[in-house]
Amino acid sequence: MNKTVSVLVPVNNEEVVLPALFAELERILEPLSGKYQFHVLILDDGSVDKTADIVRNHASNAYSTGLCSFTRNFGKESAISAGLDRCESDAYIIIDADLQHPPELIPEMLMQWESGFKLVECVKKSRGRESMFYKFCSQLFYQSMKSLSSLELDNDSDYKLLDKEIVLMIRSFPEKNRFFRGLISWMGYPTYQIPFEVPNREQGKSSWKTWGLIKYSLSSLSSFSSAPLQLVTVIGVLMLILSLLIGSLTLYQWALGNAVTGFTTVIILLLMIGSMLMISLGLIGLYISKIYDEVKSRPGYIVKEELNSSANESGKPK
């Protein structure tokens, strides 16, 4: 019996890139299809274009195709979760649809997996074409992640091969809001890394919005570190020491009969303390909202349609 490999592709409005992706997968997986049974599962994250139609009408000799469509856009993380939840196979490959994760690396990933690595990661040599602002923000995020949670994700990508063992482990985690890359890195499995140059996105456009990315970064950071909460305490203690110093100086001056005149100082101090309090409350709010989300325990996504072609018998859905 051949080993089964699921290729999970999160997609959001990718009608222009899907045909190229299928052609490329066909080219790369065909020579390996005698040895493995491939199942390509397209996780349609609320596309409003022809993405689902293209998948429904697609058939290949090299792999079977599956479609799992969400009712609306739930985000890439939810799409990855859905993929990991639904297929039973020996290995799982997560890949972007836009060919920025070159499928040519799949044979090497499988080779390293066969040689015993339960986790094979493709790491970016450089970050491809990005605006200065985007580069700055991603640097800020990765640096914060590194210093707050000791997870080094700078060149990490979602392009990974996971052994069944890792997927079973992830499924057993009760948390709903998963930050896939962080979770994998946190699990600490021995990894084989394949460096790759990120090609530019040739067709279609990224559906990430700036505000969406900011929310995603804050949510990922707070998933892996509670250090900001401790920071609030540290700032509080520093302010206390400062206020004791200033307070005793003021009292001393008063005892000498030189009452301090300093309306400006009072206003500045009030504003400073006010904003510190607001920021601290905001930080605590961020964590409370995460707890709230988890406690509600709503599913991370809702499936509208599921299809599985049987070009070959791999990747049996659960």
Asked if 68 interacts with ligand UDP (CB under 6 A), we say no
Which residues make up the interface to Mg ion (CB under 5 A)?
98, 100
Asked if 64 interacts with ligand UDP (CB under 6 A), we say no
Closest separation in Å from C-beta 97 to Mg ion: 8
Which of 72-80, 83-91, 255-263, 290-298 is the region at the interface with ligand UDP (rule: CB under 6 A)? 72-80
Closest separation in Å from C-beta 80 to ligand UDP: 8
HEC-encoded secondary structure of 220-257: HHHHHCCHHHHHHHHHHHHHHHHHHHHHHHHHHHHHCC
Beta bridge partners of 191: 119
Closest to ligand UDP by CB, 79 vs 228, is: 79
Closest separation in Å from C-beta 154 to Mg ion: 17
Asked if 77 interacts with ligand UDP (CB under 6 A), we say no
In b/e form, how buried is each residue of 187-220, taking b as 16+ CB within 10 angstroms? eeeebbeeebebeeeeebeeeeeeeeeeebbbbb
Q: How far apart are CA 9 and CA 159, in angstroms?
A: 10
Contact set for ligand UDP, span 189-208 (CB under 6 A)? 206-208
For residues 119 and 191, the answer to whether their CB atoms sit within 8 Å is: yes
Which of 97-105, 146-154, 173-181, 310-318 is the region at the interface with ligand UDP (rule: CB under 6 A)? 97-105
Asked if 156 interacts with ligand UDP (CB under 6 A), we say no
Q: How far apart are CA 65 and CA 42, in angstroms?
A: 8
Q: How far apart are CA 159 and CA 58, in angstroms?
A: 23
Closest to Mg ion by CB, 10 vs 83, is: 10
Between the CA of residue 243 and those of 151, 178, 251, what are the distances in Å? 36, 42, 12
Q: Which residues contact 19 (CB under 8 A, 6 or more apart)?
A: 54
Closest to ligand UDP by CB, 48 vs 234, is: 48
Radius of gyration of the chain (CA): 25
Among 15, 98, 121, 156, binds ligand UDP (CB under 6 A): 98
Among 14, 15, 156, 163, binds ligand UDP (CB under 6 A): 14
Closest residue to Mg ion: CB criterion: 100
Q: Which residues contact 78 (CB under 8 A, 6 or more apart)?
A: 45, 70, 300, 301
Closest to Mg ion by CB, 81 vs 100, is: 100
Interface residues with ligand UDP (CB under 6 A) are 10-12, 14, 45, 73, 75-76, 79, 96-98, 100, 206-208
